[in-house]
């Protein structure tokens, strides 16, 4: 595993429902030594059932009420780049990721999305870009959750081009 040293003012912010995105965030952290921030929603926000969670997220989007963040944001002014990760839910970023994007101040920070999916990314990248507003967006890294453990080459290539 080759370390990446050009990302020294970088934060890795991620939300993980099943553990796949957390595993990817840990792999990114191992190569960059960037700070980690876990995006969390309050404990009772989502179900342990994938289908119920999808229904809850759809209802949140329909009502225009994203879940609150359970933890305060770190001092984002310390970072030039934020790698923002989450699972694909119904073809879009998980609603806690959207909550995080909405909470980022309009400072000059570049966002680099990464995500895990169960088969198709849907419109994840387009929805992410819309939710990110005026922030500069780097290319995304998308992986099936089942491939995170064996995707070293893809991860390295993505980090190198950031």
Question: DSSP string spanning 56-77?
Answer: HHHHHHHHT-PPPPSSPPP-GG
Global pTM value: 0.93
Whole-angstrom distance, CA of residue 38 vs CA of residue 22? 8
- In tens digits, what is the pLDDT along the chain, a chain of 162 residues? 556 666 779 999 999 999 999 999 999 999 999 999 999 999 999 999 989 999 999 999 999 999 999 999 999 999 999 999 999 999 999 999 999 999 999 878 999 999 999 888 989 999 999 999 999 999 999 999 999 999 999 999 999 999
- Which CATH number applies to 10-161: 3.30.470.30, 3.40.50.360, 2.40.290.10, 3.30.365.10? 3.40.50.360
Domain positions in the chain are 10-161
Residues 95 and 143: their CA atoms lie apart, in Å, by 19
């Amino acid at each position: 595993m080759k370390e990446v040293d050009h990302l020294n003012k970088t934060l890795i912010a991620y939300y993980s429902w099943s553990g796949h995105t957390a595993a990817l965030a840990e792999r990114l952290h191992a190569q960059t030594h960037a700070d980690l921030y876990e995006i969390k929603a309050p404990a009772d926000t989502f179900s342990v059932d994938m289908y119920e969670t999808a229904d809850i997220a759809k209802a949140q989007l329909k009502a225009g009420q994203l879940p609150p963040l359970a933890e305060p944001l770190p001092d984002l002014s310390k970072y030039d780049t934020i790698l923002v990760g989450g699972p694909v839910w119904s073809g879009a970023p998980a609603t806690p990721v959207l909550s995080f994007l909405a909470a980022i101040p309009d400072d000059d920070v570049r966002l680099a999305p990464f995500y895990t999916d169960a088969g198709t990314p849907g419109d994840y990248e387009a929805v992410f870009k819309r939710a990110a507003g005026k922030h500069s967006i780097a290319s995304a890294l998308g992986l099936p959750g089942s491939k995170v453990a064996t995707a070293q080459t893809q991860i390295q290539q993505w980090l190198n081009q950031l």
